Structure 1
């Protein structure tokens, strides 16, 4: 009887060890990127600027230094100028990243270009080869200088471009070479922010660590869509996103996402609200809730960066802007980020 008991005991112990070993070998799912896009500041920042970001229960922040292109006739990308805000210059960018890191937040560095008079970057077309060469050379310097900053600061993710559809299409070999040059100086994760209506046509996703999308997908034509309506509006986009993720074996990262706090915010989410739209915090809140409920639990999803948070109050305040600051949407973001 004692011998039978000992054999049973040994068998149970052996099974427990095997099960424990199997559990230990299961890969831990990667932590979702719960990010906030941070607007560069005029002057130096301090610890007080960081706390509102953490109040969203964010674990990442996206830092956006800008380079400026006058127009298609004058395509040189100008940056790190004394006329720019502190947070847009190289030293300010580096200091901003260091401060966020010191407070436990991880960072995506996302340098972007702005074209005079608000011309959309996705429609860049040069009138001749010489101007294409000027754009290519100055954009490379702009990106490589920021790649150096990303490496020096141990920045976790570097975004190599934002919504540059026609530039990517016109110069595919240039982008392949640029990726190699970036990889030679920066050892972290890479992404590119393709726009919601063109991300499928980016030719270098296999060279990225994440498929980055500025996720301003239209989901409802209603003035104030309820959560169920907005969730239904995501259905066709989810099929596209999951299919692309499988094709490249990469997770989808929303390099930007968000909604204005205005009427019809889900109709053309990439647009700022104009004078024909009334302030509507409920629309923003319900659209955000629908996205969290629908997208953020998908296995192909890596997370995203909410557009956006201001450390400084603008002249007109935040009414109807993308930021949820001081609005009911802020609670929705912080609750969702806590849940995930």
Structure 2
């Protein structure tokens, strides 16, 4: 069998790629691409902005494809469940049903020329617990087991399907500091898989009166994991405003100086510093807000209030759309699509759909 065309070559370093379906080209300045060259050294480097959606783990194929069309997406984040028993477990297993389900949806996405970002997704305690709270009791065993799970997903899906990009992990707050182990895993993945490789870091906060938060931020941006990946991915659940509802202008201002707890965090500047540190494109691997009041205060909480507000969800999306227009900004992935039940508080409202459809139109 012929070796697939190198996706890394076809990815961020592709020269003057014109993609009519999206109708948008971008020129990146002062960004290091996987070739090691700066965009300033190669002025015709262009790439499609990624407008993706994260599939809920309980997605249906029909709803996933409908959402791709409805939101005018050019990429989809497909999860493969990695089952974990408890928040201290170091052993795990790839869920076979989830893997086969991913293969099925990927086949349909490929037919439609929709790019795939593939994510090993920790399914802890049958979905009861969040991966941000996962603290394995045996780190060495964790990396052995997690590496085995990633290898299986690479061999079963990423390589044969020529996936556009692969997450080595997402939002593992208590494990992010193990730089050597992540570097070794990324090197191993890149030795056998030609697509782009990334890691999704969780959102953070800072306040000038909280020295610990400032120190944690400095440690985060100095983490060599961002030097190993092809692009930086962030779960962008930043706490912005303590108002129940906001104007778009207030939210744009809050992205430069948050009002929550008087922190005055400059989210935009801190992301720009992270980008400047490693000269990599930045991607919001999760961008989602509940259809509730206080969505901008605790966007990580599906129920920050009992008061429904489709408009507030849309206004936060619009604030991000207006704010992140930098050349180094690679795009975003809407959390979450593929299942539209009443319990899916993050599923985009009609008002949010209009914002997302016209983003990069």
Q: Shorter-chain TM-score category?
A: 0.7 to 0.9
Alignment deviations for residues 42-66 of structure 1 (CA, whole Å, 9 cap, x no partner): 77x36x7413312212111110112
Distance 1:214 1:42 in 2: 20
What residue in structure 2 maps to residue 176 of structure 1? Answer: 183
Distance 2:289 2:58 in 1: 22
Q: Once the 2 structures are TM-superposed, how far is the Cα of residue 123 of structure 1 from its aligned partner? A: 3.8
Q: Is contact 2:59–2:337 with CA below 8 Å preserved after alignment?
A: no
What residue in structure 2 maps to residue 122 of structure 1? Answer: 132
Q: Once the 2 structures are TM-superposed, how far is the Cα of residue 172 of structure 1 from its aligned partner? A: 2.7
Question: What is the alpha-carbon root mean square deviation over aligned residues?
Answer: 2.1
Q: Is contact 2:119–2:169 with CA below 8 Å preserved after alignment?
A: yes
Q: Is contact 1:58–1:337 with CA below 8 Å preserved after alignment?
A: no
**Mapping 1:297-308, distance limit 5 Å:** 297-308=325-336
What residue in structure 1 maps to residue 291 of structure 2? Answer: 261
Distance 2:140 2:356 in 1: 43
What residue in structure 2 maps to residue 94 of structure 1? Answer: 103
What residue in structure 2 maps to residue 60 of structure 1? Answer: 75
Q: Aligned to 1:165, what secondary structure does the other structure show? A: coil
Distance 2:253 2:172 in 1: 30
What residue in structure 2 maps to residue 215 of structure 1? Answer: 236
Aligned residues: 295
TM-score, scaled relative to structure 2: 0.76
Equivalent residue for 2:84, pick from 37, 49, 69: 69
What residue in structure 1 maps to residue 227 of structure 2? Answer: 206
Alignment deviations for residues 288-329 of structure 1 (CA, whole Å, 9 cap, x no partner): 11110111x11221101010112x443x354xx11115x321
Deviates more, 1:158-167 or 1:115-124: 115-124
Distance 1:167 1:91 in 2: 28
**Mapping 1:1-340, distance limit 5 Å:** 26-41=43-58, 45=61, 49-81=64-96, 86=97, 88=98, 90-116=99-125, 118-127=128-137, 131-148=138-155, 149-169=157-177, 171-197=178-204, 200=221, 202-235=223-256, 236-273=266-303, 276-295=305-324, 297-310=325-338, 312-314=339-341, 316-318=342-344, 321-325=345-349, 327-338=350-361
Q: Is contact 1:109–1:158 with CA below 8 Å preserved after alignment?
A: yes
Q: Aligned to 1:183, what secondary structure does the other structure show? A: helix
User: Which structure would you say has the larger Rg?
Assistant: 1
Q: Once the 2 structures are TM-superposed, how far is the Cα of residue 201 of structure 1 from its aligned partner? A: 5.3
Distance 1:201 1:279 in 2: 40
Q: Once the 2 structures are TM-superposed, how far is the Cα of residue 186 of structure 1 from its aligned partner? A: 0.8
- Cα distance change, pair 80–120 in 1 and its aligned pair in 2 (3 A): closer
Alignment deviations for residues 269-302 of structure 1 (CA, whole Å, 9 cap, x no partner): 111115x42111111011111110111x112211
- Cα distance change, pair 211–74 in 1 and its aligned pair in 2 (3 A): closer
- Cα distance change, pair 140–28 in 1 and its aligned pair in 2 (3 A): closer
Unaligned runs of 5+ in 2: 1-41, 205-216, 257-265
Q: Is contact 2:88–2:134 with CA below 8 Å preserved after alignment?
A: no
Alignment deviations for residues 143-194 of structure 1 (CA, whole Å, 9 cap, x no partner): 111122111101111111001121232x332212111111121111111000
TM-score, scaled relative to structure 1: 0.80
Q: Once the 2 structures are TM-superposed, how far is the Cα of residue 202 of structure 1 from its aligned partner? A: 3.5
Distance 1:29 1:227 in 2: 30
Distance 1:107 1:194 in 2: 19
Q: Aligned to 2:357, what secondary structure does the other structure show? A: helix
Q: Is contact 2:89–2:136 with CA below 8 Å preserved after alignment?
A: no
Unaligned runs of 5+ in 1: 1-24
Distance 2:179 2:45 in 1: 36
